[in-house]
Structure 1
Amino acid sequence: MSNNGTKPQDVENSLRSHQLTHDDAYKRATKSRLTDFDSLKAVRNAAQELYNAGMTGVEGWRNERNEGNTIVDRLDHAVADTRAKLDEVEEKKDDLTQKNMQLKNPGYREAGRQPRGYGSGEIDMGMDDVPKATEQSHEKKSVEKEEGQDPAERGSKQ
């Protein structure tokens, strides 16, 4: 028995129950649906190094700090990599949403542009190269005026 009346076995069991290893922390993190394995592994390794640095003393940490390769720097890099991957996923999500909208609504265009036939007052039949009838009639009138054959004048002459 020890000084306070507890058995050595009880002390050992108590220490085991309160001890959280890095593997346990990693398993708990993966159970909480953090699925980016590389980022979790980087964080786990940095935590292990932090633990080891604490066990070996401050001298090793000072050397790493002078080299610009501290554990905090490594964690910052891991966070930056995770954010970059998240941005890529968001871009892919936006692209897929855009394609989905185009499949559901054939007249749908990119953001900022209205679908065909809505709000413009005319329906786009897909003939963008063909001049519109109003443009053709204006061209005919201008040609006739240049030649002196204005339809109003022709009617008065006849």
Structure 2
Amino acid sequence: MNYWVMKSEPDTFSIDDLKRKKREAWDGVRNYQARNFMRDGMRVGDGVFFYHSNCAEPGIAGIAEVATDAYPDPSQFDPKSQYFDPGSSRDNPRWMLVDVKFVKKLTRVITLKELQAQPNLTDMALVRKGNRLSVMPVTAAEWRAILALE
């Protein structure tokens, strides 16, 4: 089993939205490294920290689970979508996504500042300055350490 952080702006899609919908396609990822994590690394059943980004208090708001293997993101083919990519084709899709399903909302948001203050999380990609990936791996030790903070 692998573990991941997936970031979303809560004004766009929050842990409460996922709770209400139960399952959602994680579309719109347009970074090759993040795409590769979804395409090559994610497997059904992997754990996901749902991270609220670009908000007053960024942090981990909930837990989700990878519900599907990666498949082509249909928004890349839709000229009306903000995620349309004219260079991508159905025969050779450039962008992938996975579906995630709701597991639980945390009793409180574990803030980025709190994560950065943990000595055992200093190597975690999420807490390193300048890391703007929307999808990134989490080690099993990091997963356990963060769960213990709740």
Q: Normalising TM by the smaller chain, what interval?
A: under 0.3
Whose RCO is larger (CA < 8 A, sep 6+)? 2
Q: TM-score with structure 2 length normalisation?
A: 0.21
Q: TM-score with structure 1 length normalisation?
A: 0.20
Rg comparison, structure with higher value? 1
